[in-house]
Amino acid sequence: MLAGVDEVGRGPLAGPVVACAVVMPPDARAIRGVDDSKALDGPEREKLAKRIRERALAIGIGAASVREIDRINIYHASVLAIRRSIARLPVAPHHVLIDGNPIRSLGIEHTAVVGGDACCHSIACASIVAKVTRDRLMRALARRHPHYRWETNVGYGTAEHHAGLASHGITAHHRRSFTPVAQLNLALEIAPPAEAPALAELLQDVLEAAPAALPNVLAPKLAELEDILPPESTS
């Protein structure tokens, strides 16, 4: 019995990170239309989430709060949410499949599938349920905090969200560690070497436009990236 696991909500400026673990019947046909949740629109996700819940043998939902994200960082908070989702399964899976890279600190035997939310049925199911769950939560919070347009951006840093921050400040649901510079710094910490060229260009733009104190903080990151950049062609 396999459990597919995925998490959503690493990038937003507000709201928790949510993970889902799903055990689908091993002999059942795949649900038509199930794909990576990010490739589906809202109504499609809602319909598929209902079908997944009807067919799944077990579903576990886990989350890590904004306070936990700020205290232990988004990567470790994501791992915590994944652990909680697996622990809340009403049955114990024989093995776990997760989207992305292996997680050494997960503490559970698992197989990591890069791009798993687009090619592994159980992971895609988990991705859809996690996304629908988090989106519903953010829409509920939007009714109490209408200035940030969470009903449409679900906490991501859109122009409307930034306008709300400028006019009304932060709420208890905002991630205080998620300034644009903090987000970039995290990306530099976990980015694979293949992404180094693009991130180096982005960081250079930040350094050129940043206040005087920021280059001292971020310049070492640029030096690290330059060390792993592919050599320029001389032809």
- In this structure, is residue 163 part of a structural domain? no
**CATH code: domain of residue 84:** 3.30.420.10
If you count DSSP H runs as helices and E runs as strands, how many of each does the chain have, helices first?
Answer: 10, 5
- In this structure, is residue 187 part of a structural domain? yes
Residues 18, 99: one domain? yes
CA distances from 51 to 40, 54, 92, 198 (A): 15, 5, 22, 39
Helix-strand-coil percent breakdown of the chain, rounded to 5? 55, 15, 30
- Into how many domains does the chain fold? 2
232: part of which helix (H) or strand (E)?
A: none
pTM of the model: 0.76
Identify which of 77, 89, 75, 80 has the alpha carbon closest to the alpha carbon of residue 21.
89
Residues 136, 186: one domain? no
- In this structure, is residue 191 part of a structural domain? yes
pLDDT for the residue 159:
85
Q: What tens-digit pLDDT sequence spans the chain (235 residues)?
A: 899 999 999 999 999 999 999 999 988 888 988 876 667 888 999 999 999 999 999 999 999 999 999 999 999 999 999 999 999 999 999 999 999 899 988 888 899 999 888 889 999 999 999 999 999 999 999 999 999 999 999 999 888 988 888 788 889 999 988 865 455 555 556 556 565 566 556 555 555 554 454 455 455 555 555 554 555 544 4
Structure tokens at 178: 């998620």
Residues 22, 118: one domain? yes
Residues 38, 135: one domain? yes
Range of the domain at 42: 2-141
Contact 97, 123 (CB under 8 A): yes
- In this structure, is residue 218 part of a structural domain? yes
pLDDT for the residue 168:
86
pLDDT for the residue 107:
82
